[in-house]
Amino acid sequence: MTPSTPTVATAPTTPVAPPAAATAPAASAPAAASPAPRPLGRNARALRARQRFSTTVLALAWIAFLVPLVSLFVFSIRFPLTGDVDWGGWVGLFEFEGSTTASLLWEGIGNSLVMAAITVTIMLMLLIPTMVWIRLRLPRLQRVIEFISLLPLTIPAIALVVGLAPIYAWLSRNLLGSHSIWLSLAYVVLVLPFAFRSIDAGLQAIDVKTLSEAARSFGASWATVLVRVVVPNIRSAIVSATFVSIAVVLGEYTIASILARRNLQTVLFQINLSDAQVSAAVSLLVLVLTTVLLVVLDAITSRAPGRRARPAARPAARKDSPE
């Protein structure tokens, strides 16, 4: 018989965890190297199709806008029958000595710009205080004021002239004279519906009553409330009303023609009767000047008021109390 060997009990072995320093970079490496998720193929195709559509529509709009302007410019320098190119129409616009066309043109432009400035000033001074006061004190009269302001839309300009002619005849003899700039009083009536809608939309977007009561509780006068509280909050509406008013004044012809006054449109009509090419050059020049004027006004009025940046408050040094 062989002697039996004794069995030794061994403890179960447990797996040893790897050191944390070795596993940390391995765990963070895939997360850092993982690429950004790409959009689905269908969404990407829809996005590209939408971009192509927007680009096509924008290109067509630019073509529709530029082709008439280029054609107008070509007609102003090229004779239709012979095809000869002549810059005489453009040169004559800036020859002020002995040129009736240039003097007539710049007189009409100056009159229209002055009338636009007077019309916008009267319109804003008339509408803004009235509409704010109606909203604060007499809200029941809002529909009445709206009806009165929109009434000129339903009355043709030729009908307005019938009523304005005797008034202007009396004013020309006794009070104001016969200068064309006094047509701005009639133009205020024409721009009233458009300006009312723009300013009314701006006032509806803010809480006029709460703002005015808060300002009054701090001791502000009504003039301060109007100028420093209400007007800055409806700046975009005022800019829209100003642009529409300027466009209406620069494009008005009926009242000035019947009352025998000179503005931009009546001057263009007179120039067109004598020389069509010069009239085309004048029309293109007026369009460029009007566009530049509106862009400059937009840049001036849409600029936010400057505010001085306050220096950041330094945190107070904390002193540890001795233990």
Residue 122 one-letter amino acid = I
- Give Cα separations from 112 to 99, 116, 117, 260, 265 (angstroms): 20, 6, 9, 14, 9
81 has pLDDT over 80: no
Same domain, 160 and 275: yes
Task: State the pLDDT at residue 120.
Answer: 93
Give the pLDDT confidence of 277-314 residue by residue, as tens digits.
Answer: 777 888 888 788 778 877 777 777 666 554 444 444 45
C-alpha distance across the termini of the chain, in Å? 83
Task: Tell me what the mean pLDDT of segment 159-164 comes to.
Answer: 84
Q: Which candidate, 203, 225, 228, 185, places its Cα nearest to that of 142?
A: 203
Q: Is residue 80 part of a domain?
A: yes
Please tell me the distance from the alpha carbon of residue 208 to that of residue 142, in angstroms, as a whole number: 14
pTM: 0.69
27 pLDDT higher than 80: no
Q: Name the domain count of the chain.
A: 2
pLDDT of residue 301: 65
* DSSP 8-class letter at 251: T
User: Is residue 32 domain-resident?
Assistant: no
Same domain, 197 and 75: no
The structure tokens 């453009």 sit at: 90
Q: Are residues 294 and 159 in the same domain?
A: yes
- Containing domain of residue 54, as a range? 47-86
Whether residue 234 contacts residue 220, with contact meaning beta carbons closer than 8 Å, is answered with no
What pLDDT does residue 115 have?
92
> Is 139 found in the same domain as 76?
no
pLDDT at residue 70 greater than cutoff 80: yes
For residues 210 and 277, state if they share a domain.
yes
